[in-house]
Structure 1
Amino acid sequence: MKNPLRPLRFSIRRPWSLAAILLYVLTANTLINTRNVYERPQNLLRYDQGGYYSYLPAVWLYGGDFTCSFYDSLGYRSQEFLKDYQGKKFNKYHVGPAVLLAPFFALGHWEALRSGAPTTGFSPPYLQWALIGCYFYVALGLLCLRSLLLRYFDDVVVALSLLALALGTNLLYYSTHEALMSHAYSFFLFALLWYLAVRYWESGRLPWLLATGLVGGLIAATRLPNLVVGLVVVGWGLSSKADLSERLAHIGKFWWHFALASIPFFLGWLPQLLYFKLVHGSWWIHAYAGERFFWDQPLVGRILFSYRKGWLVYTPLMSLALIGFVPLWRKVRPAFWGILLFFLVNLYVVSCWGNWWYGGSYGMRVLIESSAILSFPLAASISAIVHHRLGSYLFTALFPLFIGLSLLQTHQYSHGIIHHDAMTKKAYWAVFGHLHPAGKKVMDRREKYLDRPDYTAANKDREYRGKMR
């Protein structure tokens, strides 16, 4: 393959893409501080977020109390994330985000000691550093993508692509308002895994593959179905039968590289397996008992277009990524097959989950990490448009509007104007464009059009699931 991969570095010759990442960091920091997110732990530490975060105080401050009795004694509700499994309580949410946030938890503890704040693990210093850690990892992920994208696209196109991901999708919301969810960390891990894998395939050096294995293990410890991203790792650089033959020959010759890489993969996954062993005595727990996949009933249309959570309704800029597979085939064929295969398989898996709207959330949150991989077709699409005279005019006019729409909907969801799980077409348009505080008449009209889901029925009744919109 041409264009050897440049290492991660701040190149002043390509300032626009760095400026895009800096703009994301400034925006995220501003949102966190103006909304004082870290001063409202009663909101931040509920349900999924409470589950992901609870490992940190449990391990570092409460002597490994995985029953989370300290949660209840401090006025929080551990029952929102602890589940029963064969008579024992366990945390259904995985340990990966807590592993990544451990250094920032330590910084929060240090600041709490220095400032005299309560050293409970829940006071503002802990949560502020956790939120900083979240957008720090997203920024690192964007840097990894920048390094990959700059091989094939000019700096302005890369900058626009990174802005689209960082400000034009629900990644911004999940790295600020709900920064303890797993998606922003998975976004970082996807981007880093991709970067490391490309370095290995192009250099053949074992350390790159060992690092890839470690990151793969962390992905498993964060959200197991996300291992489907391995299709991108396997498929990178394959654009012909000759490439495939060469790849298979490499694997056959250096099989021991891959055998060794299984060790750091296991080490990355080990914290999750140890947790299962400690709390239940076995190395594996079916964490989502009572929930299931409907493999013969994929609801792809709902995932993409539903007003309840549809990906392209709440992040319409990503439609450029779907269009971008055509110019990607023409311009960056070595990236095409791996990305396309990942996208199709991942979309199928996501659309088969019983609770296909993925609970109370902003947009199709389960596809946030996928946007890291879709950065290539997104950039290919933007490149094709801006290098066409008429297209460049249209893009200049419409791109800021779509960024603005994403920021508006982020504002609406964070203030409860967009409902967390019951939106319909009529409800969406009833509140469209309204800022906080929305008037009583607006909210009453929205309330009339809401369609609240039955979570139990969706995981048991195929007919009910199929009828949901």
Structure 2
Amino acid sequence: MLRSPNRISRFAFLLVFLVMAATSLIRNEVFRGTTNVITWDGYGYYAYLPGAFIYGDIEHYAFAEQHFEDYDISSSIYQLNPTEDGGRFPIYNIGLSVIWTPAFLVTHGIVSATGIAPADGMSYPYQLMVVLMGLLFAFLGLLYLKRFLALFFSDLVVGITLLAVGLGTNIFYYIVEKPDMTHGYLFALYSVFLYYFSKLVMTKSSIGVTSATSTSPPLSAYPLPATHYLLLGLLIGLMCLVRSSEIVVFAIPAFYGLKNWDTFKRNFERTLPIFLAALAVFSIQLIYYKVGTGSWWQDGYAGLSFDWLEPHLLDGLFSYRRGWLVYTPIMTLAFVGIFRLPKAWILPVVIFLIGNLYILFSWHIWWYGNTFGSRPVTQSYALLALPLAAFVAWVLGENAGAERGNVALSPSPSLRERGDVEGGTGHTGRFTSKRSLHLRSLAPLLLLPFIFLNLFQHWQYNQRIIPLDFTNRTYYWEVFGKTSLDKKDRVYLDTDEKMPVGEYVTTELLTTDTLVSVAPKSSREFTNLLEHKVTATEAAGTIWLGTSLAFSYYGDSYDKWKFPSVVTEHRRGAETLKWVQVRIPPTMDTPEDDYLRFNLSLPGLQEGDVVKQYLWNLCQDSMVVRNYDAELLTAGRGSK
């Protein structure tokens, strides 16, 4: 009996999905019955459903206030924008609600008939529905990604790539933790689209081919069923209905195999019906706007903007705040793998990647709020799995598809059923590795560090060791690998520098144990601590300012934007050379008896410069500083 030709990829697929499912059910408290996933942005995608099917209100969404009173959604109803005539509409596209509609109607029917929970669209059964729909689409996404990759690569390569994408990237986080967000659903739609698009072009280009050197008839000689175009158009239309920026997916049918005027005409003839079908699907959004608001179009991004002329590409890719390749470094291998793709795929992948990154990182909030890694790119991992698999195949000594430079071909179903072709590598059949069996067995281990890093940092993010929003290089490396949160490390989020280990000569600027009272903002906003004019002796070498204060803190009115802090200024005349604000509350362990210590570099310190420190209180809490110490630290020979 022949063994299953896809046993490795099947195992990888099931492993990844089961890990996702178990983690999602646990993290979203499904078994406790306290699931609350329709929150923040998710409510903006979801509000269409209760508005249309429960309350019959898609003009004003008056029920939202009750939802926000009864459920922990967000701090304000920012998910609904006002219209000029006094109505409201969800700021996000209707696509996710379209996807959820069948499950929502079934859920609402059961809840209404049984009375097991409030039939308000937000009680536990509705929340559970969203979690289960997220897992259903995770299953479909992984399944079709497996099928898509199997058209080009061996079973081993497909299995490794599924593990790498499913567990080694932050799509895992968004499928598991954010089933109310778009990314897991779009990942699935991309996977389905790529599979059927590949089948379409392979079926057309492989007719009559019997060998690597065969000359096939002109591509236009074989018309394709209209249903193929309709299906692809429906998929792209649904993607754009979920997020309008997914329009970049048209790069795939438009640029696939493009090399001359004939292929340009072929691609135009292929892409046009797909576009028309997609436009028909997207018209659902326009019809909703007309019915709900009286206008064919509403700007959900009112007050927000794109920086088209100055896109934040470097930040989006490499910033420690939320840079894509910083938090998902495994995708650097996909960049390398682009050059190992069959030629027909190189141009569409490159054009898609450039266009997608340009659109996503032109958004003025390029880090996209509180996210783990760069979330807007996660759905594109379905496409980037192709060059990632090409990289893996290259490491293993395999090729992608048939002969490089030719259109990749699909093996016949009969060969696949008999197991004569392993992994769908094309008419060339089973690959013979040019590397040793030892290397082939060790190659998958190359990806394990990336998988471990992604899962570990996912856990760190949930523990807030990696903070929800602001991160920088210094803090990232300070907490790298840590399994517990040390709040004192948070000073690096504000200073973004750490004094090197070494020998320093200390010059005391001020030491006091006189109690300093810090009043609430309503009484006094600023409290001076230090104002020192630098002498000629002090202005020499590499200088750091060391600050330490012990304090007692009273109150809890502070928040993300209103808090007390220590402000340090380095001034030269009227010019401010350095201004750093170190927030106090995030560093506190025991507010009634706590301390704060940090060091700041003073590069280019000169005689006559002024170093100033003061407390700036932006909230109604108060403090008493019991001890305060400031000193200049000059680096000695042992510093590095």
User: If the TM-score is normalised by the length of the shorter chain, which range does it land in?
Assistant: 0.7 to 0.9
From 15, 22, 29, give the equivalent of 2:14: 22
Structure 2 length as normaliser, TM-score? 0.62
Matched with 2:65 is 72
Unaligned runs of 5+ in 1: 1-10, 455-469
**Match runs of 1:57-96 below 5 Å:** 57-65=50-58, 67-74=60-67, 75=69, 76=71, 79-86=77-84, 87-96=86-95
Query: What is the alpha-carbon distance in structure 1 between the residues aligned to residue 145 and residue 163 of structure 2?
Result: 12
Aligned-pair CA distance for 1:286:
1.8
Aligned-pair CA distance for 1:404:
1.1
Q: Higher relative contact order by CA 8 Å / sep ≥ 6: 1 or 2?
A: 1
CA pair 453-379 structure 1, distance change in 2 beyond 3 A:
farther
Q: Is 1:277 aligned to 2:290, yes or no? A: yes
CA pair 28-278 structure 1, distance change in 2 beyond 3 A:
same
Query: What is the alpha-carbon distance in structure 2 between the residues aligned to residue 362 and residue 371 of structure 1?
Result: 15
Q: Is 1:48 aligned to 2:41, yes or no? A: yes
Matched with 1:8 is none
Which amino acid in the other structure matches residue 14 of structure 2? L
Asked if the contact 1:57/1:120 (under 8 Å) is kept, the reply is yes
Aligned-pair CA distance for 1:246:
4.1
**Match runs of 1:65-464 below 5 Å:** 65=58, 67-74=60-67, 75=69, 76=71, 79-86=77-84, 87-109=86-108, 112=111, 113-114=113-114, 116-201=116-201, 202-203=203-204, 204-238=224-258, 240-241=259-260, 245-246=262-263, 248-249=265-266, 251=268, 261=274, 264-328=277-341, 332-387=342-397, 388=435, 392=440, 395-435=443-483, 438-442=485-489, 444-445=490-491, 448-449=494-495
Query: What is the alpha-carbon distance in structure 2 between the residues aligned to residue 285 and residue 89 of structure 1?
Result: 10
Per-residue CA deviations over 1:156-211 (Å, capped at 9, x if unaligned) read: 11111111111111111111211111111121222222233333434422101011
Which amino acid in the other structure matches residue 92 of structure 1? I
Which amino acid in the other structure matches residue 381 of structure 2? S
CA pair 345-399 structure 1, distance change in 2 beyond 3 A:
same
Aligned-pair CA distance for 1:249:
4.7
Aligned-pair CA distance for 1:36:
3.1
User: SS in structure 2 opposite 1:339?
Assistant: helix
User: SS in structure 2 opposite 1:159?
Assistant: helix
Per-residue CA deviations over 1:367-395 (Å, capped at 9, x if unaligned) read: 11111111111000011113355865764
User: SS in structure 1 opposite 2:77?
Assistant: helix
CA pair 25-129 structure 1, distance change in 2 beyond 3 A:
farther
Asked if the contact 2:331/2:388 (under 8 Å) is kept, the reply is yes
**Residue correspondences, number:** 431
Unaligned runs of 5+ in 2: 205-223, 398-434, 498-558, 562-640
Query: What is the alpha-carbon distance in structure 2 between the residues aligned to residue 258 and residue 326 of structure 1?
Result: 25
Give the superposed CA RMSD: 2.8
CA pair 22-449 structure 1, distance change in 2 beyond 3 A:
farther
**Match runs of 1:5-20 below 5 Å:** 12-20=4-12
Asked if the contact 1:298/1:348 (under 8 Å) is kept, the reply is yes
User: SS in structure 2 opposite 1:30?
Assistant: helix
Aligned-pair CA distance for 1:453:
11
Query: What is the alpha-carbon distance in structure 2 between the residues aligned to residue 250 and residue 408 of structure 1?
Result: 44
Which amino acid in the other structure matches residue 215 of structure 1? L
Asked if the contact 2:7/2:155 (under 8 Å) is kept, the reply is yes
User: SS in structure 2 opposite 1:83?
Assistant: strand
Which amino acid in the other structure matches residue 152 of structure 1? F
Query: What is the alpha-carbon distance in structure 2 between the residues aligned to residue 50 and residue 67 of structure 1?
Result: 15
Query: What is the alpha-carbon distance in structure 1 between the residues aligned to residue 24 and residue 347 of structure 2?
Result: 38
377-386 vs 102-111, which moves further:
102-111
CA pair 134-152 structure 1, distance change in 2 beyond 3 A:
same
Asked if the contact 2:148/2:191 (under 8 Å) is kept, the reply is no
Query: What is the alpha-carbon distance in structure 2 between the residues aligned to residue 115 and residue 409 of structure 1?
Result: 41
110-119 vs 361-370, which moves further:
110-119
Whose helix fraction is larger, Structure 1's or Structure 2's? 1
Report the identity percentage: 32
Query: What is the alpha-carbon distance in structure 2 between the residues aligned to residue 176 and residue 151 of structure 1?
Result: 28
Aligned-pair CA distance for 1:143:
2.2
Per-residue CA deviations over 1:216-259 (Å, capped at 9, x if unaligned) read: 21122111121011101222233x43xx51451575xxx5x766
